[in-house]
Amino acid sequence: MITTPDLIDALAANLAPVRRLRPPATRAACWLLLAALVLALLAVSQGIRPDLAQRSRDPTFILGTAGALLTGVLAAVAAFMVSLPDRSRLCMLLPCPALVLWLSTIGYQCLTNWVSLEPNGIRFGETARCFATLVLTSLPLSLAMLMMLRYAAPLRPTAATLTGSLAVAAITATALSLFHDLDATVMILMWNLGTAALFVGLGGAFGGKMFSWAAPRSMTRGA
Amino acid sequence: MRGPHGRAPPLTVVKGALTGEDALGRRASGPDRTRPAASDFEWSILMARAQDGDSDAYRRLLEEVTPYIRSLAASRHRDPSDVEDAVQDILLTIHVIRQTYDPTRPFRPWLVTIANRRLVDRLRRQGRLRSRETALTSDHETFQAGQANLHQEVSYRHELRAALDNLPPGQREAIRLLKLKEMSLKEAATATGRSVTALKGATHRALKNLRKMLSHRSEVQ
pLDDT of the residue at A215: 58
CA distances to A135, A192, A215, B44 from A141, rounded to whole Å, are: 10, 17, 18, 34
pLDDT at B85 over 60: yes
- Contact at CB, B97 and A154, closer than 8 angstroms: yes
CB within 8 Å: A151 and B100: yes
Residue B215 has pLDDT above 70, yes or no: yes
Q: Is pLDDT of A107 > 60? A: no
Is the confidence at residue A33, as pLDDT, over 90? Answer: yes
Mean pLDDT taken over chain A: 73
For residues A110 and A116, what is the distance between their CA atoms, to the nearest angstrom?
10
User: For chain B, which residues make up each domain, given as ranges?
Assistant: 30-130, 164-221
Please tell me if residue A10 touches chain B, with a CB cutoff of 8 Å: no
pLDDT number for residue B36: 56
Task: Note the pLDDT of residue B20.
Answer: 41
Nearest to A87 by CA among A146, A155, A27: A155
pLDDT at B205: 92
Q: How far away is chain A from the Cα of B52, in angstroms, using its nearest Cα?
A: 5
pLDDT of residue A184: 36
Share of chain B above pLDDT 70, in %: 72
Per-range mean pLDDT, top range of A187-191, B130-134, B213-217? B130-134
> Has residue B30 got a pLDDT over 50?
no
Size of chain B in residues: 221
Neighbours of B25 (CB within 10 A): 9
Q: Which residues of B touch A220 (CB under 8 A)?
A: none
Task: Give A16 or B26, the one with higher predicted confidence.
Answer: A16
Q: Which of A2-16, A100-114, B173-187 has the lowest mean pLDDT?
A: A100-114
Q: Which residue of chain A comes nearest to B65, CA vs CA?
A: A8
Nearest CA distance, A75 vs chain B (angstrom): 19
Instruction: List, as one string, the DSSP characters of chain B.
Output: ---TTS-PPP--PPTTTTTTB-TTSPBP-GGGGG-HHHHHHHHHHHHHHHHTT-HHHHHHHHHHHHHHHHHHHHTT--SHHHHHHHHHHHHHHHHHTGGG--TTS-HHHHHHHHHHHHHHHHHHHHHHHHHH-----GGG---SSGGGGHHHHHHHHHHHHHHHHTS-HHHHHHHIIIIIS---HHHHHHHH---HHHHHHHHHHHHHHHHHHHHHHHHH-
**Which of A1, A19, A154 shows the shortest C-beta gap to B99?**
A19
Q: Which residues of A touch B4 (CB under 8 A)?
A: 17
Residue B5 has pLDDT above 50, yes or no: no
Rounded distance, CA B86 to CA B83, Å?
Answer: 5
Domain B164-221 fold is: Arc Repressor Mutant, subunit A (1.10.10)
Q: Flag whether residue A61 sits within 8 Å of chain B, measured between CB atoms.
A: no
Give the residue from chain A lying closest to B53, CA to CA: A17
CA pair distance B40, B131, nearest whole angstrom: 39
CA A174 to chain centre: 11
- Interface contact flag, A15 B110, Cβ < 8 Å: no
A193 lies in which domain range? 64-114+123-216
CB atoms B117 and A7 under 8 Å: no
Say yes or no: A16 contacts chain B, CB-CB below 8 A. yes
Of the candidate ranges A2-16, B44-58, B148-162, the one whose mean pLDDT is the lowest? B148-162
Q: How many domains does chain A have?
A: 1
Note whether B100 contacts A23, CB cutoff 8 Å: no
The pLDDT assigned to A34 comes to 92
Whether residue B134 is predicted with pLDDT greater than 50 in this model: the reply is: yes
To test the contact with chain A by mutation, choose from B93, B95, B121, B122 the residue with the greatest count of A C-beta atoms within 10 A, namely B95
**Confidence at residue A196, expressed as pLDDT on a 0 to 100 scale:** 56
CATH 3.30.1490.20 fits B30-130, yes or no: no
Mean pLDDT calculated for residue range A99-128:
59
Say what the pLDDT of residue A32 is: 92
Whether the CB of B10 is below 8 Å from some CB of chain A: the reply is no
Distance from CA of A88 to the nearest CA of B (A): 10
Domain B30-130 matches domain B164-221 at the CATH topology level: no
A151-189 confidence digits (pLDDT tens): 776 777 777 877 888 888 888 878 877 776 654 334 544
A199 located within any domain: yes
Q: Is the pLDDT of residue B25 over 50?
A: no
Q: What is the pLDDT of residue B155?
A: 73
Residue B26, pLDDT > 50, answer no
Residue A80 lies in a domain: yes
pLDDT score of B167 more than 70: yes
Contact A17 B51 (CB under 8 A): yes
ipTM of the complex: 0.70
Lowest mean pLDDT among A61-75, A101-115, B10-24, B66-80: B10-24
